[in-house]
Structure 1
């Protein structure tokens, strides 16, 4: 079993006034050659955007881009004609494929929006760009791992152009469970949204990240009420 620990305080940080952001992996002006990616997981940004502010129209290509709002509402517009608002309990994905332009703004002027911006290298390049979002029932992740992203089109989760699975869990204190790796040679990156957990003996706190590979399963214990995001991804 191999592991890598990224404590919350070691993340790259930038405050642009309207945007306060933490980068788990190298991004923009934050560069650390030891923290370029975890397998095909390339970006994990924890973004706080001021009311009415946001990211103007900008391009992407050949990347799977997942947005998970934690608090507040995020308005999305793109060159495919999609206009949508994503909120807490929603998960949005864009397959940028051959190329797409989009913008993201805080829908509300009176409160911040906090969302996770995640980039995953695609399995197949230059596909037709696509957009999808779904709302998930929060009660379905209480002391459970709720699948929210999947490569299987029959899944409840949003579809991703990669052999990757994401799960959200809202775990009550002292709850214990296991997660079994779905595909050989995949690893799992755990991001602790809130609270404290122990994964395979490693104690993790709020906003810590922990990657595990070369193992078949993980043991998970909630040391307090906790929210976690598990991202299973190919390691090469």
Structure 2
């Protein structure tokens, strides 16, 4: 087993007033040659957007884009004709493929929104752009793994054009789950949303992360109540 630790305070940070964004990997004005990606995982941004603000319409291509709201309401619009909002306990995916333009705004004029913006390199380029949005039940991750993304349209959750699996779990203090890797040549990137977690002999605090390769399974134990995002991705 090989591990790499990314502490919360080691992330890049941009403060634009209305937008406060932590970058786990190099993004926009933050460039760190040692923090370009973890396998197919290219972007992991932890964003705060003030009320009445957001990202105007802008283009993407050949990227799998995932949004996970943590607080508040995120309003989405795109060139495929999709318009709507997403909230906590919903997952949004967009396969940019041959090209798509979208906007992401705070759905409230007053309250802030916090969300994770995640990009993965696809396993197939120039696909027809695609959008999906699902609701998930928080009860389904209480002290167990809840799959929210996979490569297979027939599996639990939604799917993307990549051999990647995302799971969420909410662990009570002292509880553990064991994650078994599903793919070949994959690694797992574990991002602690809240609480305190022990993984691979390391203690993670809020917004810390650990990347793990050369293993087939990983045990996660909550030292304090913990909310966790687990991302298994190809390493090549």
Please, what TM-score do these two structures have when normalized by structure 1?
0.99
Partner of 1:9: helix, strand, or coil? helix
Any residues of structure 2 matched to 1:18-37 within 5 Å, and which?
18-37=18-37
Structure 2 distance, partners of 1:57, 1:72, is: 20
Partner of 1:97: 97
Structure 2 distance, partners of 1:112, 1:144, is: 30
Partner of 1:66: 66
Partner of 2:224: helix, strand, or coil? coil
Any residues of structure 2 matched to 1:193-208 within 5 Å, and which?
193-208=193-208
1:227 equivalent to 2:227? Answer yes
1:205 to partner: Cα distance? 0.5
- Deviations along 1:187-216, one digit per CA (max 9) or x if unpaired, are 000000000000111110100011001101
1:111 to partner: Cα distance? 0.8
**Contiguous gaps of at least 5 residues in structure 1:** none
Partner of 2:212: 212
**Range with bigger deviation, 60-69 or 169-178:** 169-178
**Aligned positions, number:** 236
1:229 to partner: Cα distance? 0.1
Structure 2 distance, partners of 1:157, 1:165, is: 10
Structure 1 distance, partners of 2:60, 2:152, is: 24
Please, what TM-score do these two structures have when normalized by structure 2?
0.99
Could you list the structure 1 runs, at least 4 aligned residues long, displaced by more than 3 angstroms after superposition.
Answer: none
Structure 1 distance, partners of 2:57, 2:28, is: 17
1:182 to partner: Cα distance? 0.3
Partner of 1:124: helix, strand, or coil? coil
Any residues of structure 2 matched to 1:34-113 within 5 Å, and which?
34-113=34-113
**Contiguous gaps of at least 5 residues in structure 2:** none
